[in-house]
Amino acid sequence: MNGRLSGKNIFLIVSILLLISLAGCSVKKNTAGSRFYHSFTTRYNVYFNGHEAYKKGVEAIETGNKDSYLEMIPLYPIENKKTVGLGKSDFDRAIEKSQKAIKLHSIKKKPARKPGKKTPEEKRWLSQKEYNPFLHNAWMMMGKSQFYKGEFLEAASTFSYITRLYDTNPKVLAEANIWLSRCYTEMDWFYDAEEVLTKLNNDSLPSGMMPDYSAAYGNYLLRQKRFKEAVPYLLTIIKHEKKKKQKAREYYLLGQVYQSLGDNAKAYESYGRTIAQNPPYELEFNARIKQTEVVSSSNARSAISKLHGMARNEKNKEYLDQVYYAMGNVYLSLKDTVKTIEQYRKGAKESTRNGMEKGILLLKLGDLYWNKADYVKAQEAYKEAIGLIDKEYTDYERLNKRSEVLDELVTHVVNVQLQDSLQHLASLSDAERRAAVDKIIKEVKRKEEAERKEAERQQLMQKREEVVNDRPVLRQTAQKVVSTGDKSWYFYNPQLVEQGKMDFQRKWGRRKLEDNWRRRNKTVISANETEEKNENEEVARKDKSTNVGEKEQASLTDTVVTDNKNPEFYLQHIPLTEEAMKESNDILSDGLYNMGMIYKDKLEDYPLAQKTFSRLYTQFPSFGRLDEVFYNLYLMNSRWKKEVEATLYKDMLISEFPKSKYAVTVADPDYAYNVTHGKHLEDSLYAETYAAFQKNDYDKVKKNAELAQKKYAMGQHMPKFMFLNAMGMLQSGNQKMFLSTLKDIVTKYPKNEITELAANIIKGVQDGRILAKGSTMFGSIWERRNTEMGAEVAVADTTQNKFSTERDTPYLFILAYEAGKVNENLLLYEMARYNFSSFIVKNFDLSFVKKNGVGMLHVKEFTNFDEAYQYAGLLYKNKEMAQKLSGMRALIISRQNYELLSKYYSFDDYQDFYQKHFSKIPEMQIKGYTLDEPVFEDKDVQDNTDEQ
C-alpha cells in the first residue's frame, strides 16, 4: 500500500511471470525451471482437482458406512463390503487426474551433469528415477483411489511400482509400503503383508509415519484375530485419531477386543469412552448394550434393571430385539437358560426390523435348543435366522449346515409324530375319537383367536407409530404370529404348516427353480430318459380322453375336507383299514430309520440314535433295512466300549442276515485288525491297483477290485476301484458293463471326486459320442483331448474342425499349468504388476480358467497375432518374470483356435500346429499402435490448455 507492493504480492507477480516464461517447458528438459514449472502446475491444477474428488469419495464412504455392531466392527469403513462402490465416480475422477498428471508432468530425463566430484547427497539426487518433486503425490492418490474403490490388486500394483520408482525417497517409500501392506491384508495375503510390515519395522521409519504404520499393523493383527498383540497398536491409533466419529468407532472396537480377551473391566471402560465421544445414537446405544454384557455377575441385576429402562424408552423402540437379546445374555451369564430363552423369544417377537440383529438372536436361541437336543425347536429358530443373516457372517456356514441337517430331520420327526398320533386315534373307540378331535378343534379356535387379537394389536401399534411420526399410512398385510414351542399333540404343532415343503425337500432336497430341477447332477442324463419321455407322452395322450374312472376320482377329490375346524378334517386321515395302517407303518418305520441315521451320522447324538433304532427293530422286526440298523448299533456300542451290547448286535446281524454285506464285514476274522489298520491297507491296495492299471494289467485290476469289494466294501476308495475295473472292461470291449458300472458309481457315490468324470462319460455316450478304446485320462495333461468329456470320450471325426492360420483376428496369450500346482493369487498379482508397470496405456483383462486338470491364466485381448506375439516377447525378455513363469506353458492362440482346443484337441496338438505355422515368422512391421508405446508421452501437452 502507499504506492508500495507487499512482499507477498511481489512473490506472486514474480511467480506468474516465471510461469509465463516457462510455459513452453517440456518434460524432456530437466532444469531447475522445468522442475519448478511442472511441480507447480501439477500441484495447483491437475492434482488439485483430482484431490478434491478423492476427498469427496472418502467422505462418501465414511458417511455411507453402516457397521454391524453385533460382530466385531472393522477398523476402517472400507473393510465393510457394503461400502464398496460408494464414491466410485469421485475415485475414478481422481485416478483419471493422477494418470493425466503423470503423463503430462513426469520428468525422467537426467539433468545436465556438472563437472567435479559429487557429494553423497548429490549422487543420491542424481540416482532418482523421477525428478518432478511433487509427482509422488499423484502416484499415491492413484493408488489410494484404487484402494478405496475396492480394487486392491490394482492398488497393490501401483504401490509396488511406487516403491521401485521412489526407492531413494525414504518417506515416499515408507508410505507406499504401508499402503501396500494394507492391500495385502484386504486380499488376505497375510504372509506378504507381514513381510512388508516387518521390513518397515526393521528399517527406521521416517518421522511422523508411526501412526500410519500402527494402523496398518494393528489392522493386520485384527484380521488374523491376534487380538492381544493388536491392543498396543489400537491404543496408538486412538491416540493420534483426530476425527471424533472415527475415534468413537475405534474405542468401540477396542472394547470388543478386550471383551473377546475376557478383560471385561477394560471392555466396559472402552465402551464408556465410546459414549463420551458423543457419537451417532446407534453407536451410543450399542455401546450401552455392550456394557451390560460385560458387567460382573454381582452387578447383573443392576444391568437387567437398566435394560428394562432402555426397553421402556421410546427412542429404543426399533432396537427392542437387541435390548431383549442383551437381557438374555445377562441371564445366560447367570446360567439361567430358562430366563435366557424367555428373553430371546420376546426379542424375536418384539423385533420390527427383521435384520441381522434378529437373525443373530434367533441363531443363539437355536443354539440353546440344539444344546438341549430339542432339535425341532432349534430347526424352527435356525430356519428363520438363515433368511436374516448375511452370508459373510462368521457363523453363517455353521448355521447353514445345522439348518440343512435339521430341515431333513424335522421332516421325519413330523412324519413320525403324525403317524403316532393317527395310530393312537385309530386305537380309540368312536366316541373317544370324536372327543379327542373336538378337543383339538377347540384348541385350534383358541389359538386362531389369540393370533387375530395379536395381529390387531400389531396393526394398532403400527398406525399409532405412523401418526406420531407424521408419515402416510403404510399398507401392510397383517401376518399371523405363529406360536412356537408347543409340546401338545401333533395337530397343534406349527410344523404342520410346513409339511408340504418338508415332504418336497425330503424327496428332492433343496432345489433352485430352474430347468431340469429334478436332477441334482446336471451333467448326468438318465439312461431311461427316453423311456420316461415316451411314458409322459402316453400319459398326455390318455389325459385327452375323459373316462368314468377319472370322473369318479374327481368326485373323490371333491370330498376331501380342508376346513381344520371340521371333525372330518382329522378323521379322514386316521388309518382305520388294514391297508391304511400298513401305509402308516411304512411311513413310521421309514421315518424312524432316517431319524436314527441323522442322529448318528450328522448330529452325532448317539444316545438318541440308539433309542430311535431300538424302537425301530422292536416295533418293526420285518423292516427292510434292519441289517444296517444292527450294524450301526454294533458300531455305536463298540465306540462306547460296551462290549456286551456290541456283541449282542453283532450276533443278531450275523444270525438274522448272514448274506448281508454288513454281516460279511463284521464276520471277517480280520475285522478287528481291519478296523485299526484298514485305511492303510485299503490305501496300499488302491496304490497297487492303480499301478497295475497304468501298466495295462487289467486282470490284476479286476482281481484287486473284487478283493476290495469283499474286504473294504465301505472304504473311501471303493468308487475308484470300481472305476479302474470299469476301464478294464472298456479295454476288453465290454462297453455295456463299463457304462453299467459308471452308473453304479454315480448312483451310490454322488459326492465322490471320481463321480463327475463318470457322469461326464455317461452323458457323452448319451449325446452320441463314441468311446475310444485304449484311451485313458491318466497320461500327461498336455495330451488330453476333449476336456468337456474327459479323454475317455473322443470325437470320432475332427476333419471339419481344423486349426486356422489366420493372424488378423483377436488373439489370447495363455499361461497353462497343472491345476493345483501354482499359487494363482501370486501369479495374478505378478502379472497385474508387470502389465501395469509396463503398459500404462493398454489395459489387459486377466482371468483364470480350469479344464481337464489344466489351469490357465488368460491375458486378453489382443487385436491380432502380432500384438500377442510382441507381448509374449516383452514378457519373457524381463528376466525376473521369465524366472517366475518357468515351468508354465505359454500359448499364443486365436479365439477361434482356443474354442477348438477346448472341444477337440490337446495342448500338444496345438503346440505341433503352432510350431509348423507360426514358429518362423518374419520381422514384424506393425503400423500404428504398438504394445511398447512409451509409458509417458508429452505430445498432447500443448493440446491441454484447460488443465495442465
Give the residue extent of every domain in the chain: 27-110+128-150, 161-240, 342-466+482-496, 578-667, 672-794, 811-900+908-917
pTM, 2 dp: 0.60
C-alpha cell at 580: 391304511
Classify domain 811-900+908-917 by CATH number: 3.30.70
Cell of 589: 418305520
C-alpha cell at 729: 472292461
Q: Which CATH superfamily groups domain 578-667?
A: Tetratricopeptide repeat domain (1.25.40.10)
- Does this chain's domain 578-667 share its CATH topology with 672-794? yes
Q: Give the model's pLDDT for residue 496.
A: 45
**Residue 523 exposure: Cα atoms within 13 Å on the Cβ side:** 15
Inter-residue contact 722 to 744 (CB < 8 Å): yes
Give yes or no for a contact between 253 and 73, defined as CB atoms under 8 angstroms apart: yes
DSSP β-ladder status, 854-862 and 845-851: antiparallel
pLDDT of the residue at 183 = 93
- Residue 494's contacts (CB-CB under 8 Å, 6 or more residues apart) are 380, 482, 483, 484, 486
Query: Which DSSP string corresponds to 254-296?
Result: HHHHHHHTT-HHHHHHHHHHHHHT---HHHHHHHHHHHHHSS-
Reading phi first (left if > 0) and then psi (alpha if -120 to 50, else beta), residue 862 is in beta
d(C-alpha 859, C-alpha 815), whole Å: 8
Which residues make beta-bridge pairs with 854?
Answer: 818, 851
The strand pair at 770-771 and 793-794 is best described as antiparallel
What is the reported pLDDT for 785? 61
Q: Where are the alpha helices (DSSP H) in 149-280?
A: 152-165, 170-186, 190-202, 210-223, 227-240, 244-260, 264-276
Listed in sequence order, the residues at least 6 apart from 120 whose beta carbon sits closer than 8 Å to its beta carbon are none
pLDDT along the chain (948 residues), means of 10: 53 52 56 74 83 92 86 88 85 91 79 70 73 86 92 90 88 93 91 89 80 93 93 93 91 94 92 92 90 81 86 86 89 89 90 84 93 91 90 86 91 91 90 89 87 77 59 39 40 46 46 45 40 43 42 50 82 89 93 93 89 94 92 89 90 91 80 67 84 85 86 80 86 82 86 79 63 46 54 41 85 89 82 75 79 84 88 88 88 90 83 83 41 38 45
Angle (CA) 593-595-599 rounded to 5° is 120
- CA–CA distance, 642 with 659 (Å, rounded to integer): 25
| Beta pairing partners, 849 | 856
d(CA 777, CA 263): 58
The reported pLDDT for the residue numbered 656 is 92
Give the integer Cα–Cα distance in Å for 532 and 730. Answer: 28
**Alpha carbon 313 to its chain's center:** 39
Helix axes 718-731, 698-711, angle to 10 degrees: 150
The pLDDT of residue 584 is 92
Instruction: With beta carbons less than 8 A apart as the criterion, state whether 107 and 38 touch.
Output: yes
Residue 78: its pLDDT value, please? 86
Which grid coordinates are listed for 500? 408340504
Give the C-alpha distances (Å, rounded to integers) separating 528 from 261, 533, 534, 764, 913.
60, 9, 10, 15, 42
- How confident is the model at residue 713, as a pLDDT? 73
The CA distances from residue 712 to 57, 128, 692, 719, in Å, are: 63, 69, 19, 11
State the Cα–Cα distance between residues 393 and 399, nearest whole angstrom.
10
According to CATH, what is the number of the domain 672-794?
Answer: 1.25.40.10
Tell me what the pLDDT averaged over the chain comes to.
78
Look up residue 611 and give its DSSP letter.
H
Scanning 475-605, the segments in alpha helix (DSSP H) are 499-508, 529-543, 548-558, 567-571, 578-597
Whole-angstrom distance between the N-terminal and C-terminal Cα of the chain? 34
Q: Verify cis geometry, omega within 30 degrees of 0, for the bond prior to 384.
A: no
Q: What CA–CA distance (Å, rounded) separates 441 from 489? A: 12
How much is the pLDDT for 813? 95
Closest CA to 106 of 943, 932, 936: 936
- Paired residues of 848 in beta bridges: 857
> φ and ψ at 890, to 5 degrees?
-95, 135
Residue 872 contacts residue 892 (beta carbons within 8 Å): yes
pLDDT in the model for residue 765: 66
